Structure formats: C-alpha cells, structure tokens
Structure 1
C-alpha cells in the first residue's frame, strides 16, 4: 500500500493509510481503543487519538509540573504538516 502524496489533506486518506502512516512513524495502536495510538521518543511520549474532525495529541507529562500538553490538528491539514507539527514534540 502506498500513501497519497504528503501534501494531501489527511481527510483524503483512507483509514488504513492513516494507520499505516502512524505505524511507520513508530506509533503503537491500542488494541482495545483502536482510535488511540501511543508514541514514545527519548525526550517525550504522546497519545494520539483519531477523533471525528481532528487528530488529537496529548504530550504526557510534558509541561512544567508534569502536566500534559494537549493539541489538535484538523484533518484538513496536509499529512506532512501534521507530521511536522506532532513529531517535532511538545
């Protein structure tokens, strides 16, 4: 399976393509909540959720005092823009 061009809005990607993309980026799908994914990097960890209108990201314990940082990205953004925003870290 090949992904659409990276400048394609995420809403134009079939769900299997989005799942493949997340897997290729090192994300692990939650087997009980299939819309939830976890990603761990040496300097940060995050939970991603495929919501109805956006991809929600929660950077775990990333803010001062160990608080989480929440961000969301509309599916109208391109895959490359979402990838750059999420995987640059909190």
Structure 2
C-alpha cells in the first residue's frame, strides 16, 4: 500500500473493487470520489445533486490537501 493509499484509508475512504485508482469517501453531508491520476488527485464532491471537482497536484503539502478535502465542496 502506497503512502497516499494509506492516508486515504486512514481518512475513512474506501478503494473501489473495480478501479484501484478510485476511492470513495462518504461523510454525512457529501460524498467525495478521489481519483489517483498520474500527476494529481482529482476529487469530485457530490452534495445532493450538485457536483464540484478540483485537481490537487501531488506537490501540495498533505495537510493542505486534507484540509481542502475535509472542507468539502
């Protein structure tokens, strides 16, 4: 397990059985799909029927990415 996968697992995200690069993170107010791309993390938040997407380059500090993920859409 890579450090990114370990970190996502610690957050409570679950790896897709069909796509090893796709993770889902369910929180009470929204769902985040986190895709491990070659150069970035792509996050798509779904809240009710609204979707928001953002790409985080791997060079960003983990704390900054985690804070943005927790903040949500």
TM-score, scaled to structure 2: 0.92
Q: Which has the larger radius of gyration?
A: 1
1:9-88 correspondence to structure 2 within 5 Å: 16-60=2-46, 62=47, 66-88=49-71
CA–CA distance in structure 1, aligned partners of residues 5 and 18 of structure 2: 15
> Which has the higher relative contact order, 1 or 2, with Cα contacts under 8 A spaced 6 or more apart?
1
Ranges of 4+ aligned residues in structure 1 off by more than 4 Å: none
Gaps of 5+ in 1: 1-14
Aligned length: 73
Cα RMSD of the aligned pairs, angstroms, is 1.4
Structure number with the higher strand fraction is: 2
Gaps of 5+ in 2: none
